[in-house]
Every structure is written in C-alpha cells, then in structure tokens.
Structure 1
Amino acid sequence: MEQVAKRAGVGKLTLYRRWSSKEELLAQAIEQEVSADISPSAADVQALAPREIVERLLPAAAETAASPGFRALVARILGSAVSHPELMEIYWRHYILPRRELAAALLRRAQQDGLVAADADLDVVIDMMAGAVTYRVLQPDPPDAAEMLRYLKAVYRQAGLYPAGP
C-alpha cells in the first residue's frame, strides 16, 4: 500500500479510505485491466437476443483474451489462489461472480429461446466455457486475436449461443 500511495502521490490513509485492504485495491485494479466491453449489461440481457449479445461482444472478448496482459493476469490470479486465498475470494466476489450471474441470465434467456437445453446445468456450462478460454490462453503458444475469435465462436456454438456455420 505504501508503494501504491507513493506512486499515486497520496498518503496511505487516502488509499485505506477507498479500499479497506490491499486485496480490495488489487481486485479493483484487475477489473480496470480487463475491458468492460467483454461482458453484457443486465439491460442487454433483458432486451436483446442472446445470439445478438454474443455476436456484439465476441470481437472485443477475443482481443482481450489474446492480449499478453490478459494472459499474464490470468496466470497470476490463478497462481495466487492458494498462497493468497483472500485475494481470490475478493476477486471472485467483485469480478467473477457478477459476470457469472450475467452469463447465467444470458443462458436462461437462451433456454427460453430453445437455444440451450432446458435441463442444462448452467453452472457447468459457464465453467466449461470459462475453463476452455482459460486453458487456451495459458497454452505455450497462445492464439492471436483472429484465432481467439474463431475459438470463441466455436465455444459459444457448442454452448448453443452462436449460430452454426463457418
């Protein structure tokens, strides 16, 4: 916290007024690093067709997922889960959980539209999609943005959220 305060030109007290712990500060810094353009808004989930939302978000998601910064961020977060469980808990609560809730809402809409099986376990579907992307970006030869877009389309197609075709 001391180094962050010094770099920002403020006192540590100023930081602690805004963030109760270094984990809270770090979780928000992580959120700032990842573009908000890769998650649907709650309003979009209610107003737009699931496939329209996915088609709109995939290019930005592919750019983000293919970036070296995102790759490093994912590796660091996963790597710190055991040694810093409080960071992972805060990151989960502030970043992952809200996005999982939006993804679940999107998948429920897709179920209503007949795109996703009515008996699909949405937590499993979300885990499969997120796990596929995480696995892909952590490979030794990660994809560039074009390949990541192709891969994301395939992942979303398997989940029923992207239309079949080339």
Structure 2
Amino acid sequence: MSAGPRTPRRDGPGRPRDPDADTAILRAAIDLLIERGIDQTSIEQIAKRAGVAKVTVYRRWRTKEELLAHALESVRADLPTVVDDHERDSSLSESIEQLLPVWGRALADPRLRALTARMTAAGHDHPHLLDVYWRRYLRPRRQRAAAVMRQAQHDGLLDPAADVDVLIDMMEGAIMYRLLVQPDTLQPATISRYLHRLLTQVGFRLPPHTAADETPA
C-alpha cells in the first residue's frame, strides 16, 4: 500500500522535506496502528520505527491525531475512485466496471480490514482523530462523490429522485459491514461481485458483471 506523496515540499524557509522520511513515518504509523491500536501508538514509537528523530516527526505533524489521519489517507490513496478517473472516461458505467476488480483487490487486503476495525473502535475514545480525518479527507471525498452521482442522475444512470447523501451512507455502511463482520477471508473476485450487486441495488444502471471482467491480482 502506498505511504503517500514522494514529492519534496517546503513548509517554510529551509531545505525541502525529505519524501523518503515522510514515507517511512507514514508507513511506521500505519504498522503500529495495526499492531497496537491508537492508545498504544505514540510519536516516539513511530519515530523509532521509521528510523528518524522525534523532532523530524513534529516538524511535519503537530499531533499524533494529525499524523495518524494522514497515514490513514495514505493507505486510501491506493484505492482509485470514479471521482478521479471519470473525467478521463467517456462513460461512467464503463469507468465503474473497469474499477470493480481494482476495488476488489484493495478491499480484500487484510491490512485495510484491520485499519477499518481500528478506526471504527476509535470513535468514542478518540473523537479528535475522527474529526481531523473527516474534515480533511472524508468530507471532501464525499462531496466529490456526490457530484459524480448527481452527474449520473443527469445522464440517466441513476434515479433522479434518489437522495444522493443517503445512497452514499448506504454504500459506505454496507462495505464497512462486509469488511468488519464477515469472518471469512474475502477474495477479490467475491468483493468485486458484491460491489456490483450493491451498486445496482442502490439504483445504478450497470451492465451485467461477469467473471471475465475480473483481472487476477
């Protein structure tokens, strides 16, 4: 899974930030979050795992919550979205069909399932982390997804009377339930088929999904 951008950038005067250090810190944060959970993960431990000084971490992120939110988003960066790809495709339905096997492989990753479980359990004890992740990452992505769904309504691929916000909740909730509650190991092809069924159930007009549409990992 990706550990985030690797392009040097400046936060102010001085030398550009080292993208390799950023990558190492984000990867260490994710590894520790999966292994130990939020309470047992500290800036000091992340710095040690990444092989950098603690001050190096604090130059980039002011709090543990900000660092973990960025680390979580770095994992999501590996999961392409219709929002990002649709502009390059002539058909929204074709774009969805092309991405179904990609989504299936990503959502079958045990690390993503573990992270989802950690974040679901974080709500009560770590509201600030969820607030940061929601404001900086989830809400903007949701707004872009809603715009694409409204375009789908305009193009006749989705019921124009459907409540887009409720549909997004339904899809996200179904996916999280599938990842967290189903005890069996999920295969990419199984998830791809499930996602196709989910999309059609919420109203997307898509062509039938076949095994031939799925590319082996």
Aligned to 1:89: 131
CA displacement at 1:89 relative to structure 2: 1.1
Pair 1:152-2:190 in alignment:
no
2:76 aligned partner, one-letter code: V
Inter-partner Cα distance in structure 1 for 2:104 and 2:111? 13
Partners of 2:83 and 2:145 within 8 A in 1:
no
Pick from 88, 97, 113 the counterpart of residue 71 of structure 1.
Answer: 113
Partners of 1:50 and 1:161 within 8 A in 2:
no
Select between 20-29 and 51-60 the one with higher mean Cα deviation: 51-60
Count of equivalent residues = 165
Inter-partner Cα distance in structure 2 for 1:68 and 1:162? 31
Inter-partner Cα distance in structure 1 for 2:100 and 2:136? 22
CA displacement at 1:98 relative to structure 2: 2.6
Inter-partner Cα distance in structure 1 for 2:205 and 2:104? 15
Aligned to 2:58: 16
Partners of 1:27 and 1:87 within 8 A in 2:
yes
TM-score (ref. length: structure 2): 0.69
Pair 1:105-2:147 in alignment:
yes
CA displacement at 1:118 relative to structure 2: 1.4
The higher radius of gyration belongs to 2
Which runs of 5 or more residues in structure 1 are unaligned?
none
Select between 156-165 and 98-107 the one with higher mean Cα deviation: 156-165
The percent of aligned pairs where both chains have the same amino acid is: 46
Aligned to 1:7: 49
RCO higher in structure (CA 8 A, sep ≥6): 1
CA displacement at 1:156 relative to structure 2: 1.3
1:6 aligned partner, one-letter code: K
SS at match of 1:110: helix
TM-score (ref. length: structure 1): 0.88
Aligned to 1:61: 103
Inter-partner Cα distance in structure 2 for 1:103 and 1:10? 37
CA displacement at 1:131 relative to structure 2: 0.8
What CA RMSD, in Å, does the superposition of the two structures yield over aligned residues? 1.9
Inter-partner Cα distance in structure 1 for 2:108 and 2:199? 17
Aligned to 2:93: 51
CA displacement at 1:164 relative to structure 2: 4.2
